[in-house]
Amino acid sequence: MNAPLRRLAVVVALLFASLLISSTYVQYVSAPSLNARTDNRRTQFKEFGRDRGPILVDGRPIAQSVEVDDPYTYQRKYTSAQMYSAVTGFYSIVYKPTGMEGATNDLLNGTADQLFYRRLSDLFTGREPQGASVELTIDPKVQKAAWDALGNQKGAVVALDPKTGAILAMVSKPGYDPNALAGHDVAKVTKAWNGLLDDPDRPLDNRAIAGRLYPPGSVFKVVTAAAALSSGNYTPDTLVDGPASLDLPQTSASLPNDFAGACGPNNKVSLLDALRISCNTAFGSIGLDIGDDAIRAQAEKFGFGKALDVPLTVTPSIFPPDPNPPQTAQSAIGQFDVRVSPLQIAMVSAGVANGGVVMRPQLVKDVLSANGVDVIQRPQPERFSDAVSGQVAADLTRMMVAVVDNGTGKRAQIPGVRVAGKTGTAQQGEGRPPNAWFTAFAPADDPKVAIAVVVEDGGALGDAASGGRVAAPIAKQVIEAVLNR
């Protein structure tokens, strides 16, 4: 019986050999494709099971991962969630991360190249990579002031430090609760997501930088004024045509003022007064005079049409590419096809405030390694563009101060502080209340903050809204929050 026993031993060896081969096939040959399958929860758990770094504002986390007793190990938690939703975005097991969660994902989850040598040591110690923490430039007091000032109106507020480009506040209303999307129950998350998608108020939009762009209305007159002054043919005191209604060439249409009557005696008005009282006809005339190319060039110097990541991706603002003269006149007062993000308007004010130099807007103050000691990234203030000369900036400042001192922006006055600003009341067509705008910087002689406010559909005032009545008081509260720091 020993011969068959020996053969049986060979059969057994072959059985085990087949197991060695099948195991090798599963664990080595087909492992990459198995790991890459989308329904493989293990790959998800690996990504979501990492100790993801927090997003900090003034040293306190607004998004952080806390250990939980479920297969994902960590749960993302957001504090002051609605207020910061436009900034943080959300981190979901179902959908792609958005906001800073998405823009700095590889830093937060610890896989960024900058963290390479730390990961190298993790490789040897067998530790899972720990995410870096991302500290934002947001000032919580300013953010809160902007959030509260908007109340339950739809709109956005962006506040910048004009000297550094640091974004001090970024608010978009309505916000949403990212915690509802960060849950680990797929069905609940999907339901919350669909609810937000179906909401006609579009809470998932970050209106400050990447919602649907807005027509800027009269706040764009700052850009037109900058183009006029930069042309060398205008000073703040240059008299321009400011009739009650401007006849537009090539058509029977005309461009009226927002108020009854002409902008000055003999249908003439100085450039300074035209901005102060927001004279449509004067800026329409200027537009016809200097032409669309000059305005477009000036707009682009402020950042229109340029890709920008702060590191959230900003939708580029638009000045129409080829307007005819009537359209140019409309565009010069921020109507027709001009479309802007609130951040772009804040950048215009910031450029004027900073002597003509626009600093690159930045949301990241620094990135620290998981141990909180090593600085991985600390973005330095960076010149974005030279929008206007120092002289033009000084002229524009004088004009914008007049707007607040004695013009359409009086409601932004702050005792003891010179505030420079510009209102905007952007028509949206028949039947819809206008969007109310205000942009400003202060103090005018040593600017600490530049701001843009937009309130959709007239806000609480509806059809009776104007930039001065609705948006300027909001800007005022935010500026006060900055100055009272």
Partner 1 sequence: MAVVTAVETRPRRNVELVLLVVSLGIAIGAYVLVGIAAEGQVQANWMWVGGGLAVLVLGVHAVLRVVAPYADPVILPITTAINGLGLVVIHRLDLAEETSLATRQLLWTAIGVGAAVAVLWLVRDHRILARYTWTAALLGFALLLLPLLPFIGRNIRGARIWIGLGPLSFQPGEIAKILLALFFAGYLVTARDSLALVGRRFLGLQLPRARDLGPILVAWVLSLGVLVFERDLGTSLLFFGLFVAVLYVATERTSWIVIGMGLFVAGAVLAWRIFSHVQRRVDIWLHPFEPGTFENAFQVVQGLYGMASGGLLGTGLGEGRPDIIPFAESDFIFTAIGEELGLTGIFALLLLYLILVERGLRTAIGARDGFGKLLAAGLSFTIALQCFVVAGGVTRVIPLTGLVMPFLAYGGSSLLSNWIVVAILLRISDAARRPAPAEVTG
Distance CA 283, CA 270 (A): 11
**Shortest separation between residue 370's beta carbon and partner 1, angstroms:** 17
- Out of 24, 194, 233, 371, the only residue in the binding site for partner 1 (CB under 8 A) is 24
Does the footprint of partner 1 cover residue 4 (CB under 8 A)? yes
Asked if 19 touches partner 1 (CB under 8 A), the answer is yes
Cβ 108 to partner 1, closest distance in Å?
Answer: 22
Nearer to partner 1, 42 or 60 (CB): 42
Judge contact between 345 and 437, C-beta under 8 A: yes
CA 479 centroid distance within chain: 18
**Does 124 help bind partner 1 (rule: CB under 8 A)?**
no
Q: Which is nearer to partner 1, 42 or 96 (CB)?
A: 42
Shortest distance in whole angstroms from residue 371 CB to partner 1: 18
- Give me the phi and psi of 378, to 5 degrees please: -145, 90
Single out the segment in contact with partner 1 by CB under 8 A; choices: 10-18, 235-243, 437-445, 465-473. 10-18
The window from 26-34, 157-165, 273-281, 351-359 that contacts partner 1 (CB under 8 A) reads 26-34
User: Is residue 3 a contact point for partner 1 (CB under 8 A)?
Assistant: yes
- The residue range among 36-44, 162-170, 185-193, 445-453 that interacts with partner 1, by the rule CB under 8 A, is 36-44
186 binds partner 1 per the rule CB under 8 A: no
Which of residues 20 and 307 has its CB atom nearest to partner 1 in the complex?
Answer: 20
Q: Is 462 in the site for partner 1 (CB under 8 A)?
A: no
Q: Does 30 bind partner 1 (CB under 8 A)?
A: yes
- Rounded to an integer, what distance in angstroms lies between the CA atom of residue 23 and that of residue 19? 6
Q: What is the dihedral of CA 323, 327, 331, 336, to 10 degrees?
A: -100
Q: Between 21 and 464, name the residue whose CB sits nearer to partner 1.
A: 21
Amino acid of residue 378 = R
Q: Does 13 bind partner 1 (CB under 8 A)?
A: yes
List Cα–Cα distances, 443 to 18, 326, 415, 425, in angstroms.
80, 37, 11, 24
Q: Are 452 and 168 in contact (CB under 8 A)?
A: no
- Annotated catalytic residue within 218, 278, 285, 331: 218
* Whole-angstrom distance, CA of residue 73 vs CA of residue 75: 7
Rg (C-alpha) for the chain, rounded Å, is: 28
CA distances from 95 to 22, 81, 189, 325, 470 (A): 35, 18, 9, 46, 36
- 254 catalytic? Reply is no
What gap in Å lies between CA 350 and CA 423, rounded to an integer? Answer: 15
Stretch of residues binding partner 1 (CB under 8 A), selected from 2-10, 258-266, 291-299, 401-409: 2-10
Q: Which of residues 46-75 bind partner 1 (CB under 8 A)?
A: 46, 71
Q: Strand locations in 328-446, DSSP E? A: 357-359, 364-368, 375-377, 383-386, 420-426, 435-442
Would you tell me which residues interact with partner 1 (CB under 8 A)? 1-6, 8-9, 12-13, 15-16, 18-20, 22-28, 30-31, 34-35, 37, 39-43, 45-46, 71, 126
Instruction: Name the residues annotated as catalytic.
Output: 218
